Amino acid sequence: MSEYLKTAKPASERAEDDQKVRETVETILKDIEARGDEAVHELAAKFDNYSKPSFRLSQSEIEALMQKVSAREMEDIKFAQTQVRRFAQAQRDSMTDVEVETLPGVILGHKNIPVQSVGCYVPGGKFPMVASAHMSVLTASVAGVPRIAAATPPFKGEPNPAVITAMHLAGAHEIYVMGGIQAIGALALGTQSIDPVDMLVGPGNAFVAEAKRQLFGRVGIDLLAGPTETMVIADETVDGELCATDLLGQAEHGYNSPAILITNSRKLAQDTMEQIERILKILPTADTAGKSWQDYGEVILCESYDEMLKVANDLASEHVQVMTDRDDWFLEHMTSYGALFLGPRTNVANGDKVIGTNHTLPTKKAGRYTGGLWVGKFLKTHSYQRVVTDEAAAMIGEYCSRLCMLEGFVGHAEQANIRVRRYGGRNVEYGTAVQPQKVE
């Protein structure tokens, strides 16, 4: 049986926090829906200390901001986007339209059609999340979305040049400087100056994730992504310093970012906790990372690899770093997670920033039923059918008629019956099931 050497704050306290977030978000979304731009401007001034006549950047404003990005930064952004584009394009190429003749004269197919307008949220109030532009805007662009509206909060009161550059290079058609609930609400509900989108994507804090949850149905969403979660599955093939570094590297995202170690080594567990305390004394973001570790950090000691696997699948963490003597075994048997990072040579930051896989991933156990953001999220698979011969129309119609009457749907049955009459030349009594023809 697993043993918790360190536990997070009780679930009841987390539930109280979640309830407060839900109530705040609900109130703000209602205000945005009722007052539109006026409400958004008030919220931007209150939460972002940002007030401009228009939240949308002009082309000249975008170009001026891009001039502030150094040559080295520009090259790094382009390198990262190349990696993301290559993987997204490979994913897109794996999705093909289908058309097949399932019976003589019966043609069935499906088409993959891009969502027509998408709002991409790029966090940036606390840290300018340049990489989130690659993950959402660029991936939507590869999918062929014809209208991509991107929004990001101001950083220290102004648009962040690197984030705006990444959005523009990734293919955003509209760029808005606004953050938090007001950005999500404006994009989903629309205002006097912003047309609503069909779908919202991108990570964010608890308020952004809750806003997406409440708006789901009015618009599509990619998934509930936020706050960040990380899990390290490790044995004695690695040391505590490596595990501690990987846990704190994600804990610095926010004050409520779960960081969990699962191990079968008490020695490694103790070493990791000691290393965390040491690193927090020198980590510049220790105020944030330390609070996350204090309230949301956990260390779970298991008796076997099988138990480690079970605990990991039950928790379904967003990021799962695996550093064991059997990494491929975990790859084969893990079923619930956001993304896997296999072996000590890679890490979650690679996935966050540069390697090419998407960093917008399911949190709060959503990995049980969905994967992360990818090019397929921006595509809708729509089916179609075609019957091209009279014989096929009559034959399918006979079966359809009887199956409709089996369920009591007379109107449905008549859709089939009229075609049996016209294309099959049979005299079918109105409102009755077509009977099989007798073979002479």
Catalytically active residues are 318-319
Is residue 178 within 8 A of residue 211, CB to CB? The reply is no
Handedness of CA 105, 94, 221, 120 (dihedral sign): negative
Q: Which of 225, 226, 210, 221 is nearest to 19 (CA)?
A: 210
